[in-house]
Structure 1
Amino acid sequence: MSKEKKYIFPEEDSFDLTNMVREGVPFPYFTKLSNHIHFDLEDWSSYLHLSERTIQRYKKENKSFDPLYSERILQIELLYKKGIAVFGIADNFYTWMDTVSLPLGNVKPKNLLDTSFGINSIYDELGRIEHGILA
């Protein structure tokens, strides 16, 4: 019995997230998320360490992503949920993600989405911003 997938920025339920990773993020979910956070295939290719052609094959075959890629997709989704909550307005968060950040090593936060360590660094910085602790 398959439960319908929640779309874009679900409430964090670790069991639901774990199951979603195990089952694989379906391509339509991925497409909706991509549109919501304004990522293109080139962005995802670098964050998931997959070629654009491989991602296009997932689309053509309407295939769910493997657990390794599904986990990264959901980590990025949850990070964006947190960032939008901290900034209050999605466009403000998107702008911050595209702006060089001194506390994050003088790189754009968006450039750190290709590793779990980078994602965790962004989470930590969002926590500091949320609590008014600026560099």
Structure 2
Amino acid sequence: MTEAATYTGDLLLLLNDDGDWDINYINGQPEMTDGFDTEVMLAIFGEPDFWQNDLTNDPAEQFISEFPDLIKDANVSDKTLLDGIEALKAALQFMIDKGEAQNINVTGEFISVYGIGWIIEISRPTAETRFNINWDKGVIAVSAQAA
């Protein structure tokens, strides 16, 4: 089971045993300040059959990411690292298109022989946020912080 937490400790995304992402809340609904983090996580982990995509007909508002498929059966390699960077950029491009962000920078590095870490820096009008996605031995850990 993989979890992605917010600043307040409310669990937002949960990878269930079937390999599907579910939204789950602990300690009530997340605070309003967690909304941006939630949007980023849904954009990264939203797949074509993601339930939220049925809520809108606007393709710009649908979360379709290649990142989940990329890491499901991948090996730690230069190709996975580079493909991950491209998949993360593509998943978040809509934020620039809609004016929610001015710049999105994605880099990656090997964190061990079993893992890759991707760093996402998002510059937006009100703040800069850095997300770290560590994929180690098939487990994802996500953290966010003000840059």
Indicate whether the TM-score tops 0.5.
no
Greater per-residue strand proportion: 2
Greater per-residue helix proportion: 1
Q: TM-score, normalised by structure 1?
A: 0.28
Q: TM-score, normalised by structure 2?
A: 0.27
Say which structure, 1 or 2, has more relative contact order (CA 8 Å, 6+ apart). 1
